[in-house]
Amino acid sequence: MDLLTRLVDKGLRGESATREEALAVLATSDDDLLAVVTAAGRVRRRWFGNRVKLNYLVNLKSGLCPEDCSYCSQRLGSTAGILKYSWLRPQEAADAAEAGVAGGAKRVCLVASGRGPTDRDVERVADTIAAIKDRAPDVEICACLGLLSDRQATRLREAGVDAYNHNLNTSEEVYGEICTTHTFADRVRTVRSSHEAGLSACSGLIAGMGETPEDLVGTVLALRELAVDSVPVNFLIPFEGTPLSENWTLTPQHCLRILAMTRFVCPDVEVRLAGGREIHLRTLQPLALHVVNSIFLGDYLTSEGQPGAADLDMIADAGFEVEQADEPSLPEHRRTQDGGTAGAPAAAAQADTAADAPAADASSGTGTATGSPASARTDLVALRRRGAGTDLPPNA
């Protein structure tokens, strides 16, 4: 396909796909799926070789969030039967983090529900980081605490945070349909604040919330414009008790196309296969490793993932290796001496300047996320009942 040849050539040079090209990737048919994965895989290997970075989530504070994000089991008004607890003590969080590191995780992601932290909360997190670093001095720390002020971002950097996660989730045009208690602009502001404080910016999306192909592409282009270092791609987990519980529209094939599109727009950026992979990719998970270079190990915030040992087997069986602590995650041109971000290549600036000519109709492929919703598979959503906030060992 001329499209894929062009995208590989651009990706190998670190240049981003245009809006039109990204839409065309989403519009490819299932018959062309392996060709799309192969092409994206060439770009992935150019910048990341055969390494897979492992990340491990620790949910510091679960449930009872005042925000109304429609996708979230912790949202205001959610009746999902998730674990609910206040802040873990530093040593409890360190216990959970230690399990992830022992399982091969290079980065520990500390997450707390809520609109954003108070200054006291930031100090709690600082104490937790000290406890984790006491046991694993070389582990990377990513914090995800909601909306952040410039001062708080600087304090987290001083406390040893390497990266800050705050996902855009969906496009600016439809964000108000997903959440009303904060705005798309609020999220962009937090990503910029963390970046300006010297933290590596981590921001991604959630697919499967009823968005259009244009929304998906617009979100990824916005992330590229923000020069983020890592892009987690989540697939909606339709928790019972949330407004999107009936949104079962994704197929494994369409998930792979979304990942490939993200890789072509962000060729030299860490693309992370995140929440919902087990539910929506199912037996095609190993194929995704040829496109992404990063995954979460084990369980998520409020739902179970597949066993950590199965993750490691999947990586080895697919011919990949776990990225080690002494291996740089990002290509050299995206790194700076202090471990912060170097920004996207100049080529990224042209990503969104091409004429927005309509691409092929993305609803024409048999694996797209449009049309009638699939039957709800509530059996695939398992609520987390182990690890942080419980007396049971974590899954790592």
Lowest mean pLDDT among 12-26, 248-262, 366-380: 366-380
Q: Is 144 a catalytic residue?
A: no
Higher pLDDT, 1 or 276: 276
pLDDT value of residue 116: 96
Is the CB of residue 235 less than 8 Å from the CB of residue 169?
Answer: no
Token duo for residue 108: 């520990």
pLDDT, tens digit (0-9, with 9 covering 90-100), for 313-331 = 999 999 999 999 999 999 9
Residues 102-131 have a mean pLDDT of 97
Amino acid at 130: A
Which listed residue (142, 144, 255, 266) is catalytic? 142
Which listed residue (19, 44, 51, 72) is catalytic? 72
**Considering just the CA atoms, what is the radius of gyration of the chain in Å?**
19
pLDDT, tens digit (0-9, with 9 covering 90-100), for 157-203 = 999 999 999 999 999 999 999 999 999 999 999 999 999 999 999 99
Q: Is 255 a catalytic residue?
A: no
Q: What is the C-alpha separation between 5 and 224, in angstroms, rounded? A: 21
Residues 10-28 have a mean pLDDT of 98
Is the CB of residue 178 less than 8 Å from the CB of residue 69?
Answer: yes
Cα–Cα distances in Å, from 148 out to 27, 199, 233? 37, 12, 22
Q: What is the C-alpha separation between 315 and 239, in angstroms, rounded? A: 28
pLDDT value of residue 1: 75
Q: Is 72 a catalytic residue?
A: yes
Which listed residue (272, 277, 334, 384) is catalytic? 272
Q: What is the C-alpha separation between 221 and 5, in angstroms, rounded? A: 21
Q: How does residue 380 score in pLDDT terms, banded at 50, 70 and 90?
A: confident
pLDDT, tens digit (0-9, with 9 covering 90-100), for 140-161 = 999 999 999 999 999 999 999 9
pLDDT value of residue 368: 40
Residues 224-240 have a mean pLDDT of 96
Binding-site positions for [2Fe-2S] cluster read 109, 142, 202, 272
Any alpha helices (H) in 199-356, and if so which ranges? Answer: 213-225, 252-265, 277-280, 285-288, 308-317
Q: How does residue 386 score in pLDDT terms, banded at 50, 70 and 90?
A: confident
Chain mean pLDDT for the chain: 89
**383 Rama class: left (phi>0) / alpha (psi -120 to 50) / beta:** beta
Q: Write down all domains in the chain, each with its CATH number in brackets.
A: 17-330+359-380 (3.20.20.70)
Residues 21-26 have a mean pLDDT of 98
Lowest mean pLDDT among 114-118, 344-348, 388-392: 344-348
pLDDT value of residue 374: 54
Q: Per DSSP, what are the bridge partners of residue 270?
A: 230
pLDDT value of residue 69: 95
pLDDT value of residue 360: 35
Which listed residue (69, 144, 179, 255) is catalytic? 69
Which listed residue (179, 202, 255, 266) is catalytic? 202
Binding-site positions read 65, 69, 72, 109, 142, 202, 272
Identify how many contiguous H helices and E strands the chain contains and give both numbers. 13, 10
Residues 14-34 have a mean pLDDT of 98
Binding-site positions for [4Fe-4S] cluster read 65, 69, 72
Q: What is the C-alpha separation between 15 and 269, in angstroms, rounded? A: 11
pLDDT value of residue 377: 66
> Could you tell me which residues come within 8 angstroms of residue 287 by beta carbon, excluding any fewer than 6 positions away?
37, 256, 281
Q: How does residue 393 score in pLDDT terms, banded at 50, 70 and 90?
A: confident
Q: How does residue 366 score in pLDDT terms, banded at 50, 70 and 90?
A: very low
Nearest to 142 by CA among 127, 129, 131, 151: 129
Q: How does residue 9 score in pLDDT terms, banded at 50, 70 and 90?
A: very high
Token duo for residue 212: 């259009």
12: pLDDT strictly greater than 80: yes
pLDDT value of residue 379: 67
Residues above pLDDT 90, as percent of the chain: 80
Which listed residue (19, 109, 144, 224) is catalytic? 109
Q: Is 202 a catalytic residue?
A: yes
Q: Is 272 a catalytic residue?
A: yes
212: pLDDT strictly greater than 90: yes
95: pLDDT strictly greater than 60: yes
266: pLDDT strictly greater than 80: yes
pLDDT value of residue 387: 86
